Amino acid sequence: MDKEKITEILQGYDKKDITIGTLGGHSALDICSGAKKHNFRTIAVCQRGREKTYAQHYKTRNKKGCIDESLVLERFSDILKEENTKILQKKNTIFIESRYAWVYFERNAMESLALPIFGNRWLLKAEERDERPNQYDFLKRANIRIPEHFKPEDIDRLCIVKAPEAERGYERAFFFVKSYEDYVEKVAMMVKNGKVKEEELRKAVIEEYVLGAQINFNFFYSVVNDEIELMGTDTRRQTNIDGIIRIPADEQIELLKHERASYIETGHIACTVKESLLEKGFDAAEKFVTTLKKEASPGIIGPFALQGAITPENELVVFDVSLRMPGSPGIKATPYTEYLYGKPVSMGERIAMEIRDAIEQNMLEDVIS
């Protein structure tokens, strides 16, 4: 879907009657609750069988709830069908993307969605480590420190191998290696157990394991104000690693003889960083936004996150990037938006504020793709 076509769709919209739409999952409640605060109508596009959260529990009624309407489809990907897109166009829908754009769609399929999407739809694929340019390319060009990467035969320290799971390609089957021999042995075992596919392992990234305090900086780049805002900080909760780290070391050693550690997301913990580290986060964010403006025009629009760890030398090392709405509504519980706005502002609300400002300043075209 090219920008001209999207501009044409947007021109047909009644800007006084915009609906904010998203897929029913991931961060839809945050998006829609934020949108309601700024007087937008909301619609969740749901997949049959998993619509109750939106169509029932958080449905708007009696001054409660935030989902005005649910469009229930057989599959999320049916949103790409013309008949469904038309329904959303008629409601003047601006769409907000989340991680679901990968999990429930063919790679890059959402790029063809015939709706204005808040943010840069062309940039999202850079999250995928096997795309080029990908997040590592952009981080390097921005001169942001990332973990050192290794070829199997060069491994000389504790490394994490980032391979997708054989069954659910969007989930992670990470494992640790400390030498080439160790790598060969573990790969053979993982392939034999059907945990990862051999061809995927060839594409897997092997990177230095950063021994530091993990932290995700969740930012918002406002195109309207040309400013970066820190919306909140958090760390992840992942299964089963979160269970493993809560048992004594001798039990861990026993357990890991027959269980593998897995890193499947279950949620996040809002967690602050000491104030002297904020500038490191902002510095990296500024470099990242500037680089992407040049290298992936129009660059970042709205939410993005730099996820990494702080080393004992007080350095931020970034090992993952998110280029869309985060799935961690708890970041609102950290104090950073209150310092700016005098009250906590969620990422969903910040998006709604930007759309509202863009409408008022006739800049809507600059915040969508």
Residues of the shown chain interacting with ligand AMP in the complex, contacts defined by CB under 6 A:
147, 160, 162, 172, 174, 207-210, 214, 236, 263, 307, 309, 319-320
Give me the amino acid identity at 73. L
Which CB atom, from 262 or from 346, has the smaller least distance to ligand AMP?
262
* Cβ proximity of 217 and 233 under 8 Å: yes
Query: HSE on the CB side for 362, CA within 13 Å?
Result: 0
H or E stretch including 94? strand 93-96
Burial class (CB in 10 A: 0-12, 13-18, 19+), 211: exposed
Nearer to ligand AMP, 80 or 213 (CB): 213
359 HSE (CA, 13 A, CB side): 19
Measured from the CB atom, is 203 or 294 closer to ligand AMP?
A: 203
Minimum Å gap between C-beta 310 and ligand AMP is 11
As to burial, measured by CB atoms within 10 angstroms (0-12 exposed, 13-18 middle, 19+ buried), residue 235 is middle
Which helix or strand (DSSP H or E) is residue 229 part of? strand 227-240
If the CB atoms of residues 267 and 344 are measured against ligand AMP, the closer one turns out to be 267
Please, which residue, 118 or 174, has the CB nearer to ligand AMP? 174
DSSP secondary structure string for all residues of 295-347:
HSTT---EEEEEEEEE-TTS-EEEEEEE-S--S-GGGGGSTHHHHHHSS---H
- Report, in Å, the least distance between residue 94 CB and ligand AMP: 29
CA distance 345 to 337: 6
CB of 139 vs ligand AMP, minimal distance in Å: 12
Q: How far is the CB of 214 from ligand AMP (least distance, A)?
A: 5
How does DSSP classify residue 14? -
Identity of the residue, 263 or 304, whose beta carbon is nearer to ligand AMP in the bound complex: 263
Minimum CB–partner distance for residue 305 and ligand AMP (Å): 10
**What is the number of the residue whose Cβ is closest to ligand AMP?**
320
CB of 328 to ligand AMP, least distance (A): 12
